[in-house]
Amino acid sequence: MGTRTETEERSHQSHSHEHDHGHGPTKPRLSRKRLVWLIVGVAGIAGLLAMRGLVGEASGSPLPNQVQDLLTLSFSVIIESLPFVVLGILLSIVVQAWLPDGILMRYLPRNPVLRRLCISMFGVVLPVCECGNVPLSRGLIIKGFTVSESMTLLLAAPIINPITIITTHQAFGFDDGILVARIVGGLAIANIVGWLFSLHPRQFDLLTPKFAAECRRPDGHDHETRVGKSLGIFVRESSVIMPALFIGALVAGAIQTAVPRDVLVQLGSNPLWSILAMMVLAFVIAVCSSVDAFFILPFASTFMPGSIVTFLVFGPIIDIKMLAILRTTFTTKVLVQLTIIVGLLSALLGLVVNYVA
Amino acid sequence: MWPSIQRWRGVILIGTATAAIVWLALSGQLVLYIHPRYVVFTVIMAVITLVFVTASTLSRAAADHGEDDAPVGRGPRAISLVGLVLAGLTVVGMLVLPPATLSSATADQRDINSTTISAGVQNLDEVSGGTAESFAALTVVDWSSLLRQTNDLSFYSGKTADVTGFITPDASDPDNVFYVSRFFITCCAVDAQPAGVPVYYPGWADTMAVDDWVHVTGEFTTNPSTLSAQPLALNPSEVTAVEQPAEPYLY
């Protein structure tokens, strides 16, 4: 698991090219070099585990309480989201490397509005929360979905995914229409945002130049096996998502250690302020949509139901960790617009529920 | 060097973090960060991740890729380098720092007993008909839920509390009153809600320190402290120092 030096890298590449040209597009072989790296990888993981085991014996933390809690909170966010991120990368691999070309496109309606509606319903069968949806949506754009269509999925899927629906039902049942408002509201917001961004004439301008270039690049790895392609996607997506996840989690931990919780809770009983407080809370805590219903459950008696709905709809789409991850794919301008639109729409949704319920 | 760092950073970060998760799971400390119901799922995904991390060292696509990326400017490269260093430090922290629960700093910051913990709510009528054993089984969270519902001393008379938790000083009278406190968790450490039972123990700080784990038995009385905001407090018959339990959070 070390980093390679440039010379090693080159010799490694020339080696594998040799294989390509020497033997044509046959199945790849294990070169000796790769075998060495495999051993390095396995030994690296074993070494990390051994090291962790040794260091773990030392008890008592050298850090002051606040710093220690900041790290505990950040690690908690990372450990809680990592399985979902991996699940998202695996789904992205399935879409990009294993599904036959065009199979997703074939059955979708031609009308753009209906088409986006159908795409937003994909989420019902995808057990991925928001951070895992980013690699999946990137995969769909590479596969030929428009940016706005992919964005519709990105926004809807975390809210209507089966795990989210089950946990929200476990937490709230059908009380105060929270579950229904979350599902219907989330779908509506995703479709409205998808429609707004579909008005942009040059869809690729919504993407970061680097990712747009990746999408334009013709699929030049046809000679590659599906397994090789899958591993390539794993390496690429993890190098995009992981640094963003870590930094997002670190910022989320820092804000939570710094901002007293009761500042938010005191705002709980006012219909308007409680909605804004919930949006700030959702932005700061950055937990995955699959588990956020349990997160907000203890606040249910303090806050009005509409504010809870706002939290449950806004949080899955926009939070500090999610913005860091989205920035790998979309431009800053798009993210600012997205935050404002989603913020306004989910606040509106919360107000409606507050006054109706 | 830079292109290969760019290419392999994700695999290294995800591999190291996952190794840390596997170790936490093996040593039973994953529950310091997430609710036990997510442990199995997290471990399954961690094993899958390790398989992919190992296999990706064989990946030819990974080795080929990225060469044709446009050269990056100095500014973006610097930002991305700072980000990478931060992420790297975090993951090293996961690997070398001893795993820890949340401390009294967070209990303080989140305001003990500020939210109603709906899942831990005890029914007054059911509790009042209980036996000595059933009272002994009540946790810090249970008692704090009862204290929120009634301050009627007659309800508490003859009921002995037997609780374990860490010490958080009472902000309104830190010299004489401390909370035996625990965090209550519904999803992960991020949503930890502090709950606590006030204990009247003048000069507790002479023998104990904040964040120490203690086992307290006693009965509730009117809080003798004039400064404390708590109307009732535990009058301890016994306070003993204990080890931090394997599952420090309550669910």
The interface predicted TM-score (ipTM) is 0.87
Domain boundaries, chain B: 2-96, 104-241
Calculate the alpha carbon distances from B183 to A180, B106, B159, B172, B250 in Å: 31, 10, 23, 20, 6
Pick the CATH number of B104-241 from 2.40.50, 1.10.10, 1.10.3470, 3.30.70: 2.40.50
- CA nearest to B71 within chain A: A210
- Mean pLDDT for A53-75 is 75
**Contact with chain A for residue B19, Cβ under 8 A:** yes
At B62 the pLDDT is 46
At A19 the pLDDT is 41
Location of structure tokens 């209980």? B130
Per-residue HEC secondary structure of B51-117 comes to HHHHHHCCCHHHHHCCCCCCCCCHHHHHHHHHHHHHHHHHHHHHHHCCCCCCCHHHHHHCCCCCCCC
Element (H, E) at B195: strand B193-200
User: Average pLDDT of chain A?
Assistant: 80
Identify whether the C-beta of residue A89 lies closer than 8 Å to the C-beta of residue A132: yes
Sign of the CA dihedral with B77 first, then B79, B85, and B88 last: negative
At A10 the pLDDT is 39
Residue A29 pLDDT grade (very low, low, confident, very high; cuts 50, 70, 90): low
Output b/e per residue, B24-44; b: 16+ Cβ within 10 A.
bbeeebbbbbbbeebbeebbe
Task: List, in order, residues 6 or more apart from A225 with CB less than 8 Å away.
Answer: A27, A28
CA distance B71 to A201: 28
What is the interface size between A and B, counted as CB pairs within 8 Å?
Answer: 296
At B57 the pLDDT is 81
Weakest mean pLDDT among A7-16, A137-146, A281-290, B235-244: A7-16
Chain B stretch 97-156, residues whose beta carbon is closer than 8 A to a beta carbon of chain A: 97-106, 109-111, 114-119
Weakest mean pLDDT among A79-88, A292-301, B142-151: A292-301
**Contact with chain A for residue B24, Cβ under 8 A:** yes
The residues of chain B scoring below 70 in pLDDT are 60-73, 75-76, 114-130
What are φ and ψ of residue B177, in 5° steps? -125, 135
More confident residue, A259 or A141: A141
pTM value is 0.79
Residue A3 pLDDT > 60, yes or no? no
Location of structure tokens 């989210």? A164
CA distance B210 to B106: 12
Parallel/antiparallel/unpaired status of strands B177-184 and B161-169? antiparallel
What are φ and ψ of residue A320, in 5° steps? -65, -40
Residues in chain B closer than 8 A to A229 (CB atoms) = 61
CA distance A68 to A52: 18
CA distance A318 to A309: 14
B21 → closest Cβ in A79, A243, A262 = A79
Residue A349 pLDDT > 50, yes or no? yes
Coil, strand or helix: which one is B20?
Answer: helix
- CA nearest to B84 within chain A: A243
Task: List, in order, residues 6 or more apart from A341 with CB less than 8 Å away.
Answer: A192, A193, A196
A228 → closest Cβ in B41, B61, B186 = B61
Residues in chain B closer than 8 A to A4 (CB atoms) = 4, 8
B16 → closest Cβ in A48, A60, A234 = A48
Q: Tokens standing for B1? A: 């060097």
Residue A157 CB-half CA count within 13 A: 26
At A219 the pLDDT is 59
Q: Which residue, A326, A314, A269, is CA-closest to A287? A: A314
**A61-70, A119-128, B207-216: which is most confident:** B207-216
> Residues of chain A with pLDDT > 70: what percent?
83
Residue A12 pLDDT grade (very low, low, confident, very high; cuts 50, 70, 90): very low
Location of structure tokens 């033997």? A23
- Mean pLDDT for A48-61 is 65
At B18 the pLDDT is 93
Q: Tokens standing for B171? A: 């902000």
Most B CBs within 10 Å, among A45, A210, A246, to test the B interface: A246
A239·B9 Cβ contact <8 A: yes
- CA nearest to B15 within chain A: A45
| DSSP label of B38 | G
Q: Which residue, A296, A326, A284, is CA-closest to A134? A: A326
- Mean pLDDT for A279-296 is 79
Domain boundaries, chain A: 103-356
* Smallest Cα distance from A117 to chain B, Å: 31
Residue pLDDT, tens place only, A311-334: 999 988 888 888 888 988 899 999
**Contact with chain A for residue B184, Cβ under 8 A:** yes
Weakest mean pLDDT among A244-258, A265-279, A317-331: A265-279
At B143 the pLDDT is 86
- CA nearest to B80 within chain A: A243
A16·B64 Cβ contact <8 A: yes
